[in-house]
């Protein structure tokens, strides 16, 4: 890969720009892959929360956990949960407990397998050590600027 600048010049580049550009590229690729199978990223997140646990979660549990991801917001998250209920992928009982359906499990398995391709693309010639360093550096930038971030 050819880098945008020499090392001497790259060290002077703004992290805000490059983290934004990386964010846009990664999210666009992820969302395009999910759209290709008929879902959105927030729908995938919610489905994964229900399908990927043995502990029963409520709508409120899932919505509260995910509403701040990528500034999704509570209204959007609630709407996305409604959509996956309407699609028949999950159910909601009178107490708000969510459950996975057989159709939802099959779709979850398909979407989970789909995640492998974009992951592999993003990690071409990037070692686990480099990836770990990149995440730690980004978390340090967040900490140093008084920001807060957390991912389940």
Q: Which two tokens stand for residue 88?
A: 């028949």
For the chain, the domains span 37-123
- Of 126, 124, 80, 86, nearest to 104 by C-alpha is 86
The pair of three-digit structure tokens given for residue 87, joined into one six-digit string = 């699609």
Q: How far is CA 1 from CA 5, 120, 151, in A?
A: 12, 16, 30
pLDDT tens per residue, range 70-93? 889 999 999 999 999 999 999 999
Q: Provide the CB-side half-sphere exposure for 57 (13 A, CA).
A: 20
Interhelix angle 41-51/15-35, nearest 10 degrees: 70
Tokens of 122: 């993003």
Write out residues in the chain with pLDDT < 50, as ranges.
Answer: none
CATH 1.10.10.10 for the 37-123 domain, yes or no: yes
At CA 14, angle to CA 69 and CA 148, rounded to 5? 30
Q: Residues with Cβ < 8 Å from 65, sequence gap 6 or more?
A: 49, 152
């Amino acid at each position: 890969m050819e880098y945008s600048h020499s090392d001497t010049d790259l060290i002077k580049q703004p992290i805000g720009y490059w983290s934004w550009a990386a964010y846009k590229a990664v999210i666009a690729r992820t969302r395009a892959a999910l759209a290709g199978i008929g879902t959105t990223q927030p729908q995938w997140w919610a489905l994964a929360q229900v399908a990927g646990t043995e502990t029963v979660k409520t709508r409120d549990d899932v919505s509260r956990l995910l509403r701040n991801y990528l500034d999704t917001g509570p209204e959007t998250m609630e709407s996305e949960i409604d959509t996956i209920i309407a699609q028949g992928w999950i159910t909601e009982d009178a107490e708000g407990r969510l459950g996975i359906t057989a159709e939802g499990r099959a779709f979850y398995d398909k979407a989970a397998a789909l995640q492998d391709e974009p992951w592999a693309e993003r990690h071409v010639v990037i070692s686990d050590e480099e990836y770990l360093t990149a995440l730690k550096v980004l978390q340090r930038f967040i900490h140093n600027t008084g920001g807060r971030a957390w991912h389940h």
